[in-house]
Chains A and B, each alone.
Chain A
Amino acid sequence: MSAMLLAQQILNGLLDGVYYLLIALGLSLIFSLGGIVNLAHGAFYAIGAYLTLVLSPYLGFGGSFVVAPVVVALMGVVIERTLFRRFYRSDPILSLLMTFGLAMVAEQALRMIFGAPPLSYSIPPWLRGQVAIGSFIYSFYRVVLLGIAITCIAALWLLLQKTSFGRVVRAGVQNPDMVGALGISLQPYMSAVAALGIGLAGLAGVLLAPIYSIHPAMGQEIITPAFVVVVIGGLGSFWGVVAAALLVGLVKGVMVGIGYSAASTAAIYLLMLLVLLFRPRGLFGERITRFE
């Protein structure tokens, strides 16, 4: 294989990782703040994709891109207020069971409303085509997708680091009792974080609907690699999750590139195993007292 192709595969792998990131960041955020392992996160990604399909005839892809994530985020708020809230102080295994059930209900609901066969959706004409970056020819849609994803990730980071909202959330991750003692109610922040995290999953659904098959179980396809990313990256670490997503994308892409495609999925699990063996807290995981 030429060095050129290897370089392309490395670049493509990193781009691939960015899609996981949209899912994984929300997962990590919701877990860090509330201790909820949200297995239903993939279902919201699927709902985002189906909403795109439903809204596009009226709003176009551009309109769905704005509206669908907001609708999914609002669903997130409702779920947080009615379900998540009851599990913040309980054993994580209970919330895990609850979200597992929620994922099944959501998937089956999609199956009942839209049917089991996959539905068709294409890239809108104005986003089709190829771009050449030197001799590297790449899908224009994916370049756009990358731009949107990076913007979202940067905005999320700024929100968490540079605003008073972010300071409360970060304090809540470390020590919710102390935040309470200072007279700040974490409840609205919990709702906001669920809206953000779940909204990001919805956004990923919108962005990937034109290039992936849209079917009721599509959430399951993305949730496992997203969890791997969160585990590798480490809890509570924004950049840990970012690095892990890029690493997972890179490992998968390069495995395919060098001719070991059959082992490309196994490789990311092996990577997770190694991280868990030698650095159980994840690559950049912070020490969070209440999870130790």
Chain B
Amino acid sequence: MSNNNQFTRRSLLKTAGGIALASGISAPAILRAQTADIIKIGHLTPRTGFLGPLGEYAVMAADLAVEEINAAGGIMGRKVELLKEDSVNPQTASTKAERMIERDKVACIIGEISSASCLTIAQVASRTKTLFINTGGNSDALRGKDCQRYMFHVESQNSMYVKTVGRSFLRDGLVKGKKWYSLTADYAFGHDLLKVSKRFMEANGGNFAGDDLVPTDATDFSAYLLKIREAKPDLVVINLAGNQITNFLKQYAEFGLTFPVGGFGFDTALAWAAGKGNFVGTWPVVWHHLLDTPGSKAFVAAFTKKYNKPPENQAWGDYVATKIVAKTINDLKSAESPKIIEHFEKGAKFDILKTREGYFRSSDHQLMHEMYAVTALPADKIKNQWDIFASSPAVPGPSEDLEIIAATKEENSCTFPS
């Protein structure tokens, strides 16, 4: 019996050891994160699908930022490790965010382009009390009815895009008493943008000659172009997204239409893909590679050296967001999300490669910063495949409050769920 007892005890020990080993194998990330001298940051963005091309720039920029942060001594003396995943769709984005936070113990999540995926990631972020910085989702709803305390936005909201390029349209006399024809991507982002652009148009005395929703899988715009030609609008307004913008621009040139074109959502990569002669119109951007500030020049030079092509505006978002996180954690000497959020909400200012520093507005967590309207250059003035547009001065101007282009409380109000 005593032998038996001893045997049982030994086997008990073995079992306990086995369990300890097994849990060690099943959660190696936790052990590493707690003991080793690295700090993990999660990066989630669409890398396939119609937003994939932009996501690729986001990933390249986040990689560059981390490389620079590590070269400068890392975060709190720890080396930064970037965990990168394709967010695919809202469901997958949420699952992957959960895994990054719970299994890999990332300090925060940066990224995303789709407004719909931003929403599901933000829900995970709130539940797990982990910071999420949105670098590409534009919808006002994310800063309004769907706002979350743990979500901050480096990407501008639709209202900021509309009011930025709206100034150019007002200056060119394309709003008051004019007819617009709009094409809108038929999903969350497009609907939100249509609502905001309609508000702007009505407030400034314009009206619609036509207004079509375009399925996100549409590649051929000929049917729409025939309608636009018949309607003879004063301005063609493009509220499309991703490759749709490139398709539209190529076919607009193909059909030889000459009505002024503008849009309220835009990415420079899509203009580059449309190419010289096809790219027309005036469009808003959060940033572009021709910006004449020391910070932007250094970023463009480093990016071009590493990847042999200039960064587009999505790259700026992920680069700046990563740098903001590193600086904040270093300043606070803490990687705890609640402390970072408190710091952001107090109005901490950050160098964002522009003439003025930016800060997160505490009421909706939107980054307040300068934006630009870019206008396509005529074909004979284009010297290379990248520099195909001219930029407006920064909007708002140097003497104006940064908040004047953002949605007002009446237009879009946020109450953080407690």
Interface residues of A (CB under 8 A from B): 2, 5, 8-9, 12-13, 15-16, 19, 115-123, 128-130, 137, 139, 141-142, 210-217, 221-222, 224, 252-253, 256-257, 259, 261-262, 264-266
How close is B195's CB to chain A, nearest CB, in angstroms?
A: 15
- Chain B contacts for A265, CB-based, 8 A: 215, 217-218
A216 to B48, CA, bound (A): 9
Q: Contact partner of A16 among B48, B57, B223, B274, CB < 8 A?
A: B223
Contacts of B312 in A (CB 8 A): 117
Instruction: Tell me which residues across on chain A come within 8 A of B48, comparing CB atoms.
Output: 217
Q: Is B220 an interface residue (CB 8 A)?
A: yes
- Among A122, A130, A142, the residue within 8 A (CB) of B277 is A122
Number of residue pairs across A and B with beta carbons under 8 Å?
123
* Interface residue B272 (Cβ < 8 Å from any Cβ of A): yes
Q: Which residues of A contact B47 (CB under 8 A)?
A: 116
Chain A residue contacts of B276, Cβ below 8 A: 120, 122
A257 touches B277 (CB 8 A): no
Which residue of B223, B251, B270 contacts A118 across the interface (Cβ within 8 Å)? B270
Q: In the bound complex, what is the Cα–Cα distance between A132 and B220 (angstroms)?
A: 21
Given the interface contacts A211-B250, A217-B49, A262-B215, does A120 sit within 8 Å of B226 by beta carbon?
Answer: no
27 pairs from A and B in contact (CB 8 Å cutoff):
A5-B227, A8-B226, A9-B226, A16-B220, A19-B220, A116-B56, A117-B56, A118-B53, A120-B273, A120-B278, A130-B255, A130-B256, A137-B229, A139-B222, A141-B254, A212-B220, A213-B246, A215-B53, A217-B49, A256-B223, A261-B223, A262-B186, A262-B212, A262-B213, A265-B217, A265-B218, A266-B215
A252 cross-chain contacts in B, Cβ below 8 A: 223
Asked, given contacts A120-B385, A265-B218, whether A129 binds B213 with beta carbons under 8 Å apart, the answer is no
- Given A117-B269, A213-B246, A213-B273, answer yes or no on A13-B53 (Cβ-Cβ < 8 Å): no
Interface size on B, residues (CB 8 A): 46
Are B254 and A120 in touch, CB under 8 angstroms? no
Q: Are B275 and A122 in contact (CB under 8 A)?
A: yes
B250 touches A2 (CB 8 A): no
Most A C-beta atoms less than 10 A away, residue of B53, B256, B312: B53
Which chain A residues border B223 with CB–CB below 8 Å?
A: 9, 12-13, 16, 252-253, 256-257, 261, 264
Q: Are B217 and A221 in contact (CB-based, < 8 A)?
A: yes
Residues of A within 8 A of B50 (CB): 217
Taking a contact as CB atoms under 8 Å apart, the answer to whether B247 and A212 are in contact is: yes
Across-interface contacts of B330 in A (CB, < 8 A): none
Q: B212, A261: Cβ atoms under 8 Å?
A: yes
- Cα A31 to Cα B251 in complex, Å, equals 33
- B219 at the A interface (CB under 8 A): yes
* B273 touching A118, Cβ below 8 Å: yes
| Complex CA distance for A214 and B217, rounded to whole angstroms | 14
Assess the A115–B273 pair: CB atoms within 8 A.
Answer: no
CA gap between A139 and B213 in the complex, in Å: 23
Q: Which residues of chain B come closer than 8 Å to A261, judged between CB atoms?
A: 212-215, 223-224
Contact of B254 among A13, A116, A139, A214 (CB under 8 A): A139
Question: Chain B residues near A211 (CB, 8 Å)?
Answer: 247, 250-251, 254
Whole-angstrom CA separation of A253 from B214 in the bound complex: 12
Cβ B57 vs Cβ A121 within 8 A: no
- Residues A120 and B274 in contact in the complex (CB < 8 Å), given A212-B219, A264-B215: yes
Please pick, from A5, A119, A130, the residue contacting B226 in the complex, using a CB distance under 8 A: A5
Decide yes or no whether B243 CB sits under 8 A from chain A.
yes
Which residues of B sit under 8 angstroms from A213, Cβ to Cβ? 219, 243, 246-247, 250, 273
What is the minimal beta-carbon distance from B370 to any residue of chain A, in angstroms? 25
Q: Ordered nearest first, which 5 A-B pairs have the shortest CB separation?
A: A120-B275, A118-B273, A116-B56, A256-B223, A262-B213
Cβ B243 vs Cβ A215 within 8 A: yes
Residues 16-75 (chain B) with a chain A CB within 8 angstroms: 47-50, 52-57
Residues from chain A with Cβ under 8 Å of B254 in the complex: 123, 128, 139, 141-142, 210-211
Which chain B residue shows the least CB distance to A15?
A: B222
Shortest beta-carbon distance, A135 to chain B, in Å? 11
Contacting residues, chain B, for A2 (C-beta < 8 A): 230
Q: How far is the CA of A235 from the CA of B285 in the complex (A)?
A: 49
- What does the 1/0 interface line of B177-190 toward A look like (CB < 8 Å)? 00000000010000
Given contacts A130-B255, A217-B49, contact A222 B219 (CB under 8 A): yes
**Smallest CB-CB separation from B220: which chain A residue?**
A16
Q: Which of A8, A115, A118, A262 has the most CB of B within 10 A?
A: A118
Bound together, the chains give a CA A256 to CA B215 distance in angstroms of 10
Q: Are B222 and A16 in contact (CB under 8 A)?
A: yes
**Cα–Cα distance between A13 and B227 once the two chains are bound (Å):** 13
Report the separation of the CA atoms of residues A201 and B135 in the bound assembly, to the nearest whole angstrom.
Answer: 37
Contact of B269 among A118, A129, A256 (CB under 8 A): A118
- Return chain B residues, CB-CB under 8 Å to A5: 226-227, 230
Known interface pairs A118-B53, A253-B222; 7 further A-B residue pairs with C-beta atoms within 8 A, sorted by A's residue number: A12-B226, A19-B220, A122-B278, A139-B255, A142-B254, A215-B53, A264-B215
**Shortest distance in angstroms between A278's beta carbon and chain B's nearest beta carbon?**
25
**A259 to B, closest residue via Cβ:** B212
Judge whether A117 and B243 touch: CB under 8 Å: no
Distance A261 CA – B227 CA, assembled complex (angstroms): 11
- Contact for A256 among B186, B224, B270, CB less than 8 A: B224
Separation of A198 and B276 alpha carbons in the complex (Å): 32
Residues in chain B near residue A137, CB distance under 8 A: 229
Report the Cα distance A274→B226, complex, angstroms: 29
User: When the two chains form the complex, which single residue of B224, B256, B273 contacts A119, counting CB atoms closer than 8 Å?
Assistant: B273
